[in-house]
């Protein structure tokens, strides 16, 4: 029996809608990334660690610090973990080291020219930049040598020690200055046309198989009446921070894929500002120079084990440390929400205990 044309039209429409929904569902599944690659466990004895030594390290962490998460990875495998390693929390200034990694792809494909000046891009800020400041290049921004001492939208730097504005030629003087770093974030987005957090997801989180990455957790902040450029804060878990460190230790390679070029990894972890040129001068009593938003062990007093090592460092107790001499990555967190801190000196004592026992009872 022949169906009425109206019913036939309805059936055709229903079939069409079902087909559309089916295709949409299939497309969504194909485009949704799987972020779930876990760490394997290391055999501690093979690296000379006894159970007593690992327990001593953990006891020190528990008794002497405000640590909320620590993870030690050796040869790409978990040696030691403590605390909540899968909880997302604020990375503070570790964000800057991650941005340095993101820059690489776009510098090397020509999207970003590090020699471009702020004047050539057409950038300014509240109250205006001075002519000498507009000569600062992108390279100066990401090495903290811009000579621009405009107030930043957020605190947490050495701006209180800044020279008078206009007194330093761009490139000549190092100062850890959030205005530089925030502008570097804006420049990245302006020149690539890509949101930093989308780049973080697509260029790092997905290729590395981050287990806990949440794009919706990422958010910028800052007082935009002070400066137009907000801070691009990042929230990651401890174990996903370790993947950032491991990628750097692997010279940008993850599995059989080169995520970041080896040349770029070497560039951003090479010293631009040696220990003797750090400012303010009190920083010269420590053991760090500065590269491209990474802190590099430097100076005559650096122990052999830390030569070639480097760290991302953030307020409250956020650290990613890469120690090539031990094929090791150490990641540490103290959640800022708890209003407690783990300072560098305490964290360094944790590091020293970890490296001290390496190979002591190796089989």
User: Which one, of 334, 333, 332, 40, lies nearest residue 209 by Cα?
Assistant: 40
Residue 26 sits at φ, ψ, to 5 deg, of: -65, -40
Q: pLDDT tier at 13 (50, 70, 90 boundaries)?
A: very low
Task: Write out the E strands in 57-195.
Answer: 69-74, 77-83, 89-90
Cα separation, 322 vs 351, whole angstroms? 11
- Strands 257-258 and 253-254, sheet pairing: antiparallel
CA angle 188–137–147, rounded 5-degree value: 115
Count CB neighbours of 318 within 10 A: 28
Cα separation, 361 vs 217, whole angstroms? 43
Residues 6+ apart with CB under 8 A from 277: 174, 289
pLDDT tens-digit readout, 184-207: 999 999 999 999 999 999 999 999
Cα separation, 363 vs 359, whole angstroms? 8
pLDDT tens-digit readout, 217-261: 999 999 999 999 999 999 999 999 999 999 999 999 999 999 999
Q: pLDDT tier at 336 (50, 70, 90 boundaries)?
A: confident
CB 148 within 8 A of CB 129: yes
Cα separation, 222 vs 74, whole angstroms? 37
What pLDDT is attached to residue 37?
66
State whether residue 337 is helix, strand or coil: helix
Task: Write out the E strands in 240-279.
Answer: 253-254, 257-258
pLDDT tens-digit readout, 14-65: 333 334 334 433 333 333 344 556 788 999 999 999 999 999 999 999 998 8
1-5, 44-48, 185-189, 357-361: which has the minimum mean pLDDT? 1-5
Cα separation, 322 vs 324, whole angstroms? 6
* Domain locations in the chain as residue ranges: 46-356
Q: Beta partners for 311? A: 295, 321
- Tell me the angle at which helices 94-108 and 178-192 cross, rounded to the nearest 10 degrees: 40
- Strands 69-74 and 288-290, sheet pairing: unpaired
Q: What is the mean pLDDT of the chain?
A: 90
Fold (topology level) of 46-356: Beta-lactamase (3.40.710)
CA angle 87–91–96, rounded 5-degree value: 145
Cα separation, 274 vs 299, whole angstroms? 8
Residues 6+ apart with CB under 8 A from 7: none
The answer to whether the bond into 101 is cis (omega within 30° of 0) is no
Kindly report the pTM of this predicted structure: 0.88
What pLDDT is attached to residue 360?
66
User: Which one, of 220, 215, 189, lies nearest residue 204 by Cα?
Assistant: 215
The position carrying tokens 């690296």 is 47
Q: pLDDT tier at 361 (50, 70, 90 boundaries)?
A: low
106-120, 139-153, 325-339: which has the minimum mean pLDDT? 325-339
Q: Beta partners for 41? A: 78
pLDDT tens-digit readout, 64-95: 889 999 999 999 999 999 999 999 999 999 99
């Amino acid at each position: 029996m022949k169906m009425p044309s109206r019913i036939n039209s309805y059936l055709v429409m229903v079939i069409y809608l079902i087909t559309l929904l089916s295709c949409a569902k299939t497309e969504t599944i194909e485009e949704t990334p799987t972020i779930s690659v876990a760490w394997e466990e290391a055999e501690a004895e093979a690296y000379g660690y006894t159970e007593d030594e690992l327990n001593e390290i953990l006891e020190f962490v528990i008794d002497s610090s405000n640590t909320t998460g620590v993870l030690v990875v050796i040869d790409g495998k978990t040696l030691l973990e403590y605390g909540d390693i899968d909880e997302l929390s604020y990375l503070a200034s570790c964000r800057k080291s991650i941005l340095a990694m993101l820059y690489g792809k776009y510098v090397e494909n020509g999207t970003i020219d590090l020699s471009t000046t702020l004047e050539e891009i057409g950038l300014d800020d509240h109250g205006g930049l001075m002519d000498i400041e507009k000569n600062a290049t992108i390279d100066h921004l990401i090495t903290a040598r811009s000579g621009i001492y405009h107030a930043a939208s957020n605190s947490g730097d050495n701006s209180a020690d800044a020279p008078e504005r206009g007194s330093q030629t761009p490139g000549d003087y190092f100062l850890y200055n959030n205005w530089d770093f925030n502008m570097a974030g804006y420049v990245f987005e302006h020149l690539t046309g890509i949101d930093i957090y989308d780049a973080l997801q697509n260029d790092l989180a997905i290729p590395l198989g981050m287990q806990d990455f949440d794009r919706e957790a990422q958010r910028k902040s800052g007082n935009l009446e002070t400066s137009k450029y907000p801070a691009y804060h990042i929230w990651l878990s401890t174990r996903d921070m370790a993947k950032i460190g491991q990628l750097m230790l692997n010279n940008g390679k993850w599995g059989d894929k080169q995520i970041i070029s080896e040349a770029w990894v070497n560039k951003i972890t090479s010293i631009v500002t040696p220990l003797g040129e750090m400012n303010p001068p009190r920083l010269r009593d420590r053991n760090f120079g500065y590269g491209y938003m990474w802190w590099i062990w430097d100076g005559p007093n650096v122990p052999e084990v830390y030569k070639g090592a480097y760290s991302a460092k953030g307020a409250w107790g956020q650290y990613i440390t890469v120690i090539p001499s031990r094929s090791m990555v150490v990641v540490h967190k103290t959640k800022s929400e708890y209003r407690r801190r783990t300072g560098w000196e305490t964290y360094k004592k944790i590091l020293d205990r970890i490296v001290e026992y390496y190979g002591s009872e190796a089989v």
